[in-house]
A and B are shown apart, each in its own frame.
Chain A
Amino acid sequence: MTAATATVDERVAHVGILRRILLKPEFGALIGAIVIFVFFASQSDVFRSWTGAANWLDVSATLGLMAVPVALLMIGGHFDLSAGVQVGTAGLATGIMTTYWGLQLYASWAVSLALMLTIGFINGFLVTRTGLPSFIITLGMFLGLQGLNLGVTKQVTNTVQVGNLDLVPGYHALNNILGSTVTIGGADFPVAIIWWVGFTIVASWLLLKTRFGNWIFATGGEPNASKNVGVRTDRTTIALFMMTSFMAWFVGSTQIVRFATIQAQSGIGQELYYIVAAVIGGCLLTGGYGSAIGASLGALIFGMTEVGIVNLNWNSDWFKLFVGVMLLLAVLANQFVRRFAEQSRR
């Protein structure tokens, strides 16, 4: 370990490679993912087969797609409790406009995007204008959208689901983009996995290589100081909320296209799992610290566990206990590693 002398400014001091790796927010999640994989793969031959991999990657992708923007938002210092229910809103909007109001599929897909961006904008705008915690603002949005999803769906359909999207012209082309599968090793991998990897890379690049990424860290780390040095914190916050809503649109569309039907209660309660994935991936609840890749690794851990437990024929009643314990362990491990790394820096 290199020890910086007191005379050298700590910001330019040379930091050893090991410590630099330990300091990465996604380090804990990476170790966790490897441990979980080795554990389940050694116990179950289905888990380590191609078909098994397709299963746990599928669960991870659905979660990971949302966990990535949620992680960015958390780094920016905010929560979005409405992220889960927004997935339902997006799917329902596309479904109702297409199958009940007869709007062309792609047109309603676009209108649904506009609707979701508006929701994200409202979230961000209210948070920045009122200065209230995003927890409260998005809690209101969460409850409101839950009622809106159910109310509108019941009003239009008299049931609680919207279906028959597969009868609409243009469906198959959209299904190829969002809901199809790629066959590798005899197993069908949902195309959502590719989107998930792609969005993770884009988000990481955005976070680490662009000015906007710097602004996210700054806004979440110390909003007042950032504002004083010219960071457009309000604009950054609004953009982050709109990114979350954009992804909700994407995931909601994937869901309705894949199953050709969507339920009014879709997505409710999932927002907490997005946050769990982001936290396992190294995001701090206080903002200013975290990683997009970490969030995806968190989602991967979650997906592998959920499917792995079934592979081992364990009683699935205990799944949530497992997740809870894992979350606590991950957070404690992250904190321990970070403290160790920061102490040895001095």
Chain B
Amino acid sequence: MIGKRRMWVVVAAIAAPMLVVSACSSRNAVNKPHNQSGGGKGGYGYKIAVVTHGGAGDSFWSIVKNGAVQAGKDMGDTVTYQSDGDPTQQAKLIDAAANAKPDGLVVSMANPEALKSSIENAEKAGIPVITINSGEAQSKPYGALSHIGSDETIAGQAVGTELKKEGVKNVLCVIQEAGNVGLEQRCAGVKDTLGGTVSNIQVDNNNLPAAQTIIKTKLQSDKSIDGVVTLGAQVAQVAEGAISQSGSSAKLATFDLNADVAKGVEDGKIAFAVDQQPYLQGYLAVVMLTLYNSNLNVLGGGQPVLTGPNLITKANAAQVLKLAAGGTR
């Protein structure tokens, strides 16, 4: 046993430097802390629950959440956001949210069958439901008001078409989450329109240094690869490094966006990025439910609303970069 006094000395010794932080100024900071943007202050006062399958810490879903929360502020609604990547857990979250009798429910359906009964129960209880992001095909059959999202296959095809224009023939498609259907669809979409070879490779989203080496190794092993497509913004950045380190001249294109990707596009290191505008998926869902509650409006009579694909090229990258740093693009 360590003596009590000695222990406190140890604690004090390691805790002391932390106090330094509180005394420091922020003159040298290169990043600005974000400020909650103001926006209008509507007085609707509805309760809207958002339940998604997005992993905590996923940059894409963090933007969806930011959009939904901001819409809540702008409309004057109370928005709650919860997520679980496991379909059965997500179903339980939907049940719990429905039990609180909200005025609207926003759900992403990565695995529609697992959520079917929970969504239908919520509708039986009179809660309007809007599906976002994934599950477009099942949205209407399950009785949802509308679906807001981007079609993965269409987005993939858009990337394939663009790469074909650039003269790319052999594409490496980097999948960062094993077993995610949407990601496989993106790669398949690229293949549809490229008219060349597309091979898939798995990397680990939580170990990006290794992901970089894997991509580098692949480029060194197969010199005929002249295009790399990444399916997430975080992977795009490491792919950028992998391409330059391997001495490959492969063109890089990516799905999804963050500040680094926007910067890469601006610098010409990334050919282009395809954005499905996650902010819109969160924001519009809350707005549409608010208008449904207050005015019985249904946009497009319930037809799916597409938020993408939106192409980020050198022409608009600089403007998008500013917004991406704030967590809305």
Contact = CB atoms under 8 A, between A and B. Distances in A.
14 contacts: A46-B221, A55-B217, A99-B31, A100-B31, A103-B20, A114-B14, A161-B258, A167-B30, A168-B28, A259-B241, A264-B57, A267-B206, A317-B178, A319-B202
A42 B202 CA distance: 24
A80 to B, nearest CB: 17
A41 B22 CA distance: 53
Contact of B214 (A107, A234, A306, A317): A306
Interface stretch (B58-66, B123-131, B186-194, B297-305): B58-66
**Is the contact region of chain A dominated by helix, strand, or loop, or is it mixed?**
helix
Nearest to B212: A259
A115 B18 contact: yes
B178 A160 contact: no
Given A101-B24, A102-B27, A114 B17 contact: yes
Interface residues of B, number: 62
Minimum-distance CB pairs A-B, first 8? A265-B57, A158-B327, A102-B29, A158-B34, A102-B26, A102-B28, A99-B31, A159-B327
Given A111-B18, A160-B59, A168-B30, A102 B24 contact: yes
Interface of A: 44, 46, 51-52, 55-56, 58-59, 62-63, 84, 97-104, 107-108, 110-111, 114-115, 117-118, 121, 125, 128, 146, 149-150, 154, 156-164, 167-169, 188, 234-235, 238, 255, 258-259, 261, 263-270, 306-307, 310-313, 316-317, 319
Given A121-B14, A154-B62, A311-B217, A103 B206 contact: no
Given A270-B206, A310-B201, A310-B218, A164 B31 contact: yes
Contacts of A55: 213, 216-217, 220
A150 B54 CA distance: 14
B237 A261 contact: yes
B238 interface: yes
Given A168-B28, A266-B208, 9 more contacts: A46-B217, A98-B29, A100-B26, A158-B62, A188-B245, A235-B2, A259-B237, A259-B241, A313-B222
B30 A99 contact: yes
A226 B21 CA distance: 41
A160 B62 contact: yes
Nearest to B328: A158
B33 interface: yes
A266 to B, nearest CB: 6
Contacts of A63: 210
Contacts of A259: 208-209, 237-238, 241
A104 B25 CA distance: 10
A33 B23 CA distance: 50
A158 B246 CA distance: 34
Nearest to B215: A310
Contacts of B153: none
A64 B11 CA distance: 29
B296 interface: no
Interface string B307-329: 00000000000000000011100
Contacts of B205: 265
Nearest to B238: A259
Contact of A159 (B27, B55, B206, B258): B258
A321 to B, nearest CB: 12
B250 to A, nearest CB: 15
Contact of B202 (A100, A125, A158, A317): A317
Given A104-B28, A235-B2, A266-B208, A158 B221 contact: no
Nearest to B29: A102
A260 to B, nearest CB: 9
A159 B28 contact: no
B137 interface: no
B36 to A, nearest CB: 8
Given A163-B260, A235-B2, A261-B260, A157 B217 contact: no
B100 interface: no
Contact of A150 (B24, B56, B218, B234): B56
B207 interface: yes
Which of A158, A259, A269, A307 has most chain B Cβ within 10 Å?
Answer: A158
